[in-house]
Chain A
Amino acid sequence: MADLEIRGLTKIFPGGMRALDGLDLQIQDGEFFALLGPSGCGKTTLLRSIAGLETPNSGEIHIGGRDVTRLPPAARDVAMVFQDYALYPHMTVADNIAYPLKVRRVGRKERREAAESVGRSLQIQGAMLDRRPGQLSGGQQQRVALARAIAYRPHVFLFDEPLSNLDARLRLEARTFLKQLQRELGVTTVYVTHDQAEALALADRMAVMDQGRIRQLDTPSNCFLRPANTFVAAFIGSTPMNLLPATVQEGTFEVAGQKVMIPEAIRAKVSVGDTVILGVRPEYVSVSPTELPGSLTGTVRVLENLGVDSLVTVEVGDLRVQATVPEERVPAVGDRIWLAPDQRRLLAYRQDDGEQVGAPKVAQSDAPALVPGAE
């Protein structure tokens, strides 16, 4: 069991691609930590650097207080589960699970016992132990890969998108299983994913990464409710957050020629004439067929059924605003409706760097701010 500390980690690939850019991160002992971001954001490079499979150009990695930056992978006491599971097709399931022990010259009998005992906790038992990985289902293969990582008894688990090769339903089951397993084992876990729902569901804390930097480091609920910037706001959430250009006027935001009240919490952080980007999740926009005070009005253009709710896309001036409505209140396409953002959930971002209003300016911000389109 160990905590993990990363200081000023930079990795530049041959050709000049800056995969990690002076990254700092602290992960507590026993924490389930998710690294989330689009492809190419550096999350996998960070994970592989922790494992020792990539050599950083500068910076330090400490595991359990020990500087492991220059140590080979085997000396770091970490176990990694790959997206493709990396099971050896010519070995039986039991041999696969116990392979790390074979490398350490543990005897055949002890290896078998270890494979059986770890396998039992993951429902890999009986005849399954003597099969080849090719004879197992995707979900079973995934559990064998987990069992091999556990049999190694590492200080840190490193997961590289371990659920992405499973089909949607199995992925949900495996997710619950994985979270429970991590709780029981209490091993520090770093989990890389590009699936925001997975990160929200699994992690104690998460880092949202973009272009080799961490854009937000927080709990899943804070990342969801209070995204630090427009990048995180656009990346997290199964329905994308509404990001609407607005100008600040006396007591109100002007959005597409209409007025929205400035929430109490934001009022002191903006001044008249500022241009901002308003962010509000479709889940926090209430919809009404009659006029509401301080609301936007427009015409329903698209209806999408999400199951319990429907997603309504409304044309407000030349902007498009989305809201979710429960099944009994779904309007018809072409209806004129009123949209009221929840005052407690309305966020405002600076136009220039995309960070929240009132947040300190990021000094080295050459990352382009995400400017929402008219959608």
Chain B
Amino acid sequence: MSSRAADRPSPPRGASTPPEASAAALQTRGAVAFLTPALLLIGIFLVFPALWTLYLGITDYRLTGIQAAQPQVIGLDNYASALGDPAFANSLWVTLLYVLGSAVIGQLGLGFALAWTFRRWRGPARNALEVLVIAAWIIPSSVVAFLWIAFLDTHNGTLNAALGNADIPWLFSWPLLSIIVFNTWRGTAFSMLLCGGALNTLPPSHLETARLAGASTWQQLRDIVLPSIRGHLLTNLLLISLWTFNDFTPYLITAGGPNFATDTLPVYIFRNALINFQLGYGAAISAILLLINLVIALVYLRLLRARS
């Protein structure tokens, strides 16, 4: 066989490019042609604004006045004043509590609890449950914000009416707790769906073996379920932490108040950049927010990799 192949006349050299090479060139050109529009859009709407924000962060750019016309590069002054600003420290602390309370404990905790409790439900009952939970997630922010204002209103609110005209000023007395509960309610659907999917990947025989050995529900969760779906849980935690960190919806309910009790970082940025017109300063805080998000992402990725 091989000797016969060697006997075959070799193709004339240099006469033309071999067909494979031209096909490869065509493929490359095709790929570039297909990718270019997407890359252009990403460049214009994502990369450029991000770089522009970084640039603005080192200027004294304002919405009005001389600095609006001729912004000056002021180096790291914006960052220095942010780190010296107690309002920024307060905002960072509020944001951490908000993320911890509503995403990590609220959404993941409740989402997993719902997924675990109803894992064997099938059919119409399960569909109804999912519709209920997902409805909270897909209704536009402005609508749900209004619903919660109506729900928590001191004199005419649904909650106080249900408690027998209690007249409790929820948004005034427990503002941070209110938006934590609000965001838990709003975002649990995602965690529930993701945990439900993760639990479905668990072979029934794993839990049955544990049941035969006499493991309690708590032991099954600790020894088998949670370690088995650890990857799903961490991915979920990463996504909901980042979303909650950047969430602006609470502003629609409390406007950052009262007395900055719900002044999360996105609200702080909005206040400084668009209400106080300090666009340069707002851009600098945005860069810090980006950095925090990056650190969160790295921590989760580390945890994920620690698995193997």
Contact = CB atoms under 8 A, between A and B. Distances in A.
Interface of A: 51-53, 72-75, 78-80, 82-84, 86, 88-91, 99-100, 102-104, 148, 152
Nearest to B209: A86
Given A88-B224, A88-B228, A103-B219, A82 B214 contact: no
Given A84-B205, A86-B203, A79 B224 contact: no
Given A74-B213, A74-B214, 10 more contacts: A73-B214, A78-B212, A82-B208, A84-B203, A84-B205, A88-B206, A88-B228, A90-B230, A99-B213, A103-B210
Contacts of B212: 51-53, 73-74, 78-80, 152
A6 B302 CA distance: 54
B223 interface: yes
Nearest to A152: B213
B50 to A, nearest CB: 39
26 contacts: A51-B212, A53-B212, A73-B208, A73-B212, A78-B212, A80-B208, A80-B209, A80-B212, A82-B205, A82-B208, A84-B203, A86-B203, A86-B205, A86-B208, A88-B206, A88-B224, A88-B227, A88-B228, A99-B209, A100-B214, A103-B210, A103-B213, A104-B214, A148-B209, A152-B212, A152-B213
A89 B215 CA distance: 18
B194 to A, nearest CB: 19
A89 B201 CA distance: 13
A102 to B, nearest CB: 7
Contacts of A148: 209
A99 B228 contact: no
Contacts of A152: 212-213
Nearest to A75: B214
Contacts, number: 60
B228 to A, nearest CB: 7
B211 interface: yes
Contacts of A51: 208, 212
B229 to A, nearest CB: 10
A74 B223 contact: no
Nearest to B216: A103
Contacts of B206: 86, 88
Contacts of B215: 74, 103
A151 B139 CA distance: 54
Most buried by B among A86, A91, A148: A86
A104 B205 CA distance: 20
Contacts of B211: 53, 72-74
Nearest to B214: A74
Contacts of B213: 74, 99-100, 103-104, 152
User: Is the interface on chain B under 10, 10 to 19, 20 to 34, or 35 or more residues?
Assistant: 10 to 19
Interface in B210-254: 210-215, 219, 223-224, 227-228, 230
Nearest to A102: B223
A74 B227 CA distance: 22
Given A74-B213, A103-B213, A53 B208 contact: yes
A89 B228 contact: yes
Contacts of A99: 209-210, 213, 223
A325 B86 CA distance: 96
A72 B214 CA distance: 9
Given A80-B208, A80-B209, A99-B223, A90 B228 contact: yes
Contacts of A89: 228
Nearest to A89: B228
A91 B224 CA distance: 9
Contacts of B230: 90
A100 B215 CA distance: 8
Interface string B255-278: 000000000000000000000000
Contacts of A103: 210, 213-215, 219
Nearest to B219: A103
A319 to B, nearest CB: 45
Contacts of A53: 208, 211-212
Most buried by B among A72, A73, A102: A73
Contacts of B209: 80, 82, 86, 99, 148
Contacts of B228: 88-90
